Amino acid sequence: MSDLLVRGGRLVTSTGVQRADIRCRDGRIVEIGSDLEPSGERVFDADGALVFPGIIDPHLHFALVAGPHRTADDFASGSAAALAGGVTTFIDFAHQRAGQRLEQAVDQRLEEARLSRADYSLHVIVTDISRGQLAELPALTRRGFTSAKVYTTYRDAGFYCDDYTILQLMAAGAEAGWIVMVHCENDAIVEGTRARFVQEGKTDFSYHARSRPAVAEVETVQRMILFARETGCPTYLVHLSVGESARLVAAAREQGVPVVGETCPHFLVADESVYATDRAARFIHTPPLRTAEDQRVLWEALSRGWLQVVASDHCGYTLRQRTDYADITRVAPGIPGTEMVLPLMFTYGVAAGRLELPQLAQLCCERPARAFGLYPRKGAVAVGADADLVIYDPEPRREIRDEDVRSAAGYTPYAGMDVQGRVVATVLRGEVVYDGRDVLVPPGHGQLIPRSPVRPAELP
Ligand SMILES: [Zn+2]
């Protein structure tokens, strides 16, 4: 089943676009060339469609529990949505509870992640190193886990990590070959602003953006760049929403600081004016949407290479889980989106003239694979790599509709927007796992992919 010949497509790699056939055997790519003849494989006729490397979504949250809220998506439904969007590999999170060993957190989370239909790995959310947990990094590295995540806010949800802990983690990470991801929002600024808004009765969704101001992100981005420079630890700043953050990342990289910046489709196709409309409940995520000018700078940042990666930050809560608690202090933030990354980036990036096709392969395939130790097995169409492909018909235009999404969230923030093109097939390790209509593999089909250590010189 994993022997396949994909013929007649236009192959998009991080360096160019070319007509090429791709022969896959035993789950790997064994030959790339023109006019390849079948030798016993199943033939897939791509017929002029675009062929991308499988999308890597290095930032999403399936089966997420935050206080009384649980996402509708578990690993089975979430990974089905991922495959339908051309995402062949994702990295979710193992949340270390206070007092827990890191490996304990990973092993618990793997029990849930086993349901995945797509290939996967986990980042370790580190919250407590008071019992010598940093000594576990080498053992986790040997098991193929080489990334941590910290939050600089969210005390109530048990995510918050103080500066000294982050510095120690980064120092240990630099030694162990780990990359540390950071959710950048200054806790005191966010909590202070929100407390004042509560006092003033300003808690409906129209206050969401103002309750988490841009300065909270920019301050923390600066601080984390300082920590990355100080420790030499590869540092990955997630979901950057402010144009100034992108400029800071670019300037730091120029000086050789090992930092990588990520943004998300929602910051690129919507802005804070949404919060004054009846679509506000669809965009309750943190950080919030920013100004149209921030959005313009973020696109520029992707095209100029100031930011390196686009990821979904998918959280599959239902719309009811927003509208039933129409209050920014009671709602669990997060929006679904892994299946929309490719169509949105193609439509509003490539088709709109903001990005070239190879840049899309850089942002959504090669660079996330490099940043997280998956490359060259994942993230590239190359001989020897896993045969993970997305076949994308760039022609059809359609309106995005809630009823068409595969996520158990049952809605998409982008309903009503137009997209160009659609995924006609997703290939995972040489097997067609989505045929443009149905996801063809059961829960548990995905494999846990061991990842390599990450060194500053190898960062994208
Ligand atoms: Zn996230």
Kindly report, residue by residue over 50-76, the tens digit of the pLDDT. Answer: 999 999 999 999 999 988 889 999 999
Distance 56 CA to ligand 1 centre (A): 15
CATH code of 294's domain: 3.20.20.140
3-state SS, residue 114? coil
Distance 145 CA to ligand 1 centre (A): 18
Query: Quick one: pLDDT at residue 241?
Result: 98
Distance 357 CA to ligand 1 centre (A): 26
CA-CA distance, 107 to 127, in Å (whole number)? 16
Domain-embedded: residue 37:
no
Domain-embedded: residue 295:
yes
Distance 184 CA to ligand 1 centre (A): 11
Domain that holds residue 211: 55-379
Domain-embedded: residue 285:
yes
Domain-embedded: residue 30:
no
Can you name the residues that pair with 237 across neighbouring β-strands? Answer: 182, 261
Domain-embedded: residue 145:
yes
Domain-embedded: residue 20:
no
Distance 169 CA to ligand 1 centre (A): 19
* Number of domains observed in the structure of the chain: 1
Distance 2 CA to ligand 1 centre (A): 33
Query: Quick one: pLDDT at residue 402?
Result: 97
Domain-embedded: residue 438:
no
**Under-70 pLDDT residues of the chain:** 1
Distance 327 CA to ligand 1 centre (A): 20
Distance 60 CA to ligand 1 centre (A): 6
Distance 151 CA to ligand 1 centre (A): 10
Q: Which residue in the block uniquely carries the two structure tokens 């929006």? A: 335
Distance 262 CA to ligand 1 centre (A): 11
Domain-embedded: residue 151:
yes
Distance 25 CA to ligand 1 centre (A): 35
Residue 341 in contact with residue 392, Cβ under 8 Å?
A: no
ipTM of model? 0.94
Query: Quick one: pLDDT at residue 1?
Result: 55
Ordered DSSP codes for 218-277: HHHHHHHHHHHHHH---EEE-S---HHHHHHHHHHHHTT--EEEEE-HHHHH--GGGGGS
Task: Retrieve residue 180's tokens.
Answer: 């540390």
Distance 313 CA to ligand 1 centre (A): 5
Query: Quick one: pLDDT at residue 362?
Result: 98
